[in-house]
């Protein structure tokens, strides 16, 4: 697997990572644990070294899964996790607000270290910006954890550029994680230029549009009652029907390259910046292999221009989040 370095951090990871949320949370009932452990082992065997989790995924179950599955590969893989939500310590199913107070951050770090079965957290993201806690205090708390040897790198998720600059001035930010794909290109306006200026890596989540860009979802697709896509405006039947234009574009290019729509979507992302590492999620070995193969696909300048021109003419329907979730991003 080709490696990439996240910005100026020196953090070297596989060019494609693995978003692990869906193994425990959000996309319907969780699969059998052993199957997910086998999948994680297969990912390592194929050269994937970058795994993304969070305490809120489950809650806690996803970190515990990675801790058990990746214990034999300690020192060979990079695990990113996140803090910032207010959770029931008994593992209740829902978060009840944000909490990035320094004392809470440090308590979360200690708990995550135990669940992940590691001595140091490779990359520790603030999951969402807490408007009640100055970002300078958040960065300072993570800096304390770095000095204590409990964390290696500091990250931010879905933060606004002003917040990123303020945090970076206190403790260098290794990576910012935000949604980015061919049907959500908002980061191109201000975020990507800011990250390039500051030397911060970028980790796009949902690079396949929560599965939509794979070409396997249409207006007739049904979702499990526990699948959170049911509550997203972009996943109403009407929006899914209208947004097939993006999938049609990917399918056309995929046929020309003997690839799949998902592979073209990932290859396009990889072509944007050399310090960008997407983290598509999957629960299936065949999809893992499909995603990893995207790292070998090279899109020419003409092909990239064609994609840009074609996508510019498509009006994607539906907001990416509900109003409540939208208020948590870009702050």
Output the CA torsion sign for 94, 98, 103, 105: positive
- Which element (helix H / strand E) includes 205? strand 201-205
Answer yes or no: is pLDDT of 93 > 80: no
**Which of 57, 125, 180, 205 does the annotation list as catalytic?**
57
Q: How far is CA 300 from CA 68, 76, 273, 277, in A?
A: 41, 33, 14, 19
Burial of 188 (0-12, 13-18, 19+ CB in 10 A): exposed
Instruction: Answer left, alpha or beta for residue 47, where phi above 0 means left and psi between -120 and 50 means alpha.
Output: left
Closest by alpha carbon to 127, among 29, 21, 15, 233? Answer: 21
- The pLDDT tens digits of the residues spanning 309-329 come to 999 999 999 999 999 999 999
Q: Model confidence at 101, in pLDDT bands (50, 70, 90)?
A: very high
Q: DSSP of 251-300, one letter per residue?
A: HHHHHHHT--HHHHHHHHHHTT-TTB----B-S-HHHHHHHHHGGG----
Active site residue 205: no
Answer yes or no: is pLDDT of 24 > 80: yes
Answer yes or no: is pLDDT of 92 > 80: no
What pLDDT does residue 88 have? 83
Average pLDDT of the chain, as a whole number: 96
Q: How far is CA 20 from CA 55, 58, 300, in A?
A: 12, 11, 31
For the chain, give the number of residues: 331
- The pLDDT tens digits of the residues spanning 170-205 come to 999 999 999 999 999 999 999 999 999 999 999 999
Tell me the whole-structure pTM to 2 decimals: 0.97
Domains in the chain, CATH or no CATH each: 3-326 (3.20.20.100)
| 93 or 212, which is more confident | 212
HSE-up of residue 187 (Cα within 13 Å, Cβ side): 26
Helix axes 102-116, 135-147, angle to 10 degrees: 40
Answer yes or no: is pLDDT of 90 > 80: no
Burial of 53 (0-12, 13-18, 19+ CB in 10 A): buried
Q: How far is CA 238 from CA 220, 233, 235, 290, 323, in A?
A: 10, 9, 8, 28, 18
Q: Model confidence at 302, in pLDDT bands (50, 70, 90)?
A: very high
What pLDDT does residue 192 have? 98
């Amino acid at each position: 697997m080709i490696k990439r370095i996240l910005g100026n951090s020196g953090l070297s990871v596989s060019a494609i990572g693995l978003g692990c949320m869906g193994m425990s949370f959000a996309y319907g009932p969780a699969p059998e644990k052993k199957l997910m452990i086998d999948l994680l082992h297969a990912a390592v065997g194929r050269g994937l070294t970058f795994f993304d989790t969070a305490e809120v995924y489950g809650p806690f179950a996803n970190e515990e899964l990675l801790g058990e599955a990746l214990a034999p590969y300690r020192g060979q893989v990079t695990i990113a996790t996140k803090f910032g939500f207010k959770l029931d310590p008994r593992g209740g199913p829902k978060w009840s607000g944000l909490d990035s107070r320094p004392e809470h951050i440090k308590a979360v770090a200690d708990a995550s270290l135990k669940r992940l079965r590691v001595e140091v957290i490779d990359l520790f993201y603030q999951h969402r910006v807490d408007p009640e806690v100055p970002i300078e205090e958040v960065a300072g708390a993570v800096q304390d954890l770095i000095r204590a040897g409990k964390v290696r790198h500091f990250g931010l998720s879905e933060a606004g550029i002003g917040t990123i600059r303020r945090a970076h001035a206190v403790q260098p930010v290794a990576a910012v994680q935000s949604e980015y794909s061919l049907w959500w290109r908002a980061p191109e306006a201000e975020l990507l230029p800011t990250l390039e200026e500051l030397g911060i890596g970028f980790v796009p989540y949902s690079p396949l549009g929560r599965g939509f860009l794979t070409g396997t979802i249409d207006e007739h697709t049904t979702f499990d009652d526990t699948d959170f896509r049911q509550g997203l405006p972009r996943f109403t039947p009407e929006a899914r029907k209208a947004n097939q234009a993006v999938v049609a574009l990917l399918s056309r290019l995929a046929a020309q390259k003997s690839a799949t729509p998902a592979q073209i979507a990932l290859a396009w992302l990889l072509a944007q910046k050399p310090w960008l590492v997407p983290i598509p999620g999957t629960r299936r070995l065949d999809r893992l292999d499909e995603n990893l193969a995207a790292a070998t696909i090279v899109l020419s300048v003409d092909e990239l221009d064609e994609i840009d021109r074609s996508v510019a003419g498509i009006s994607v329907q539906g907001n990416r989040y509900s109003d409540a979730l939208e208020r948590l991003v870009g702050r």
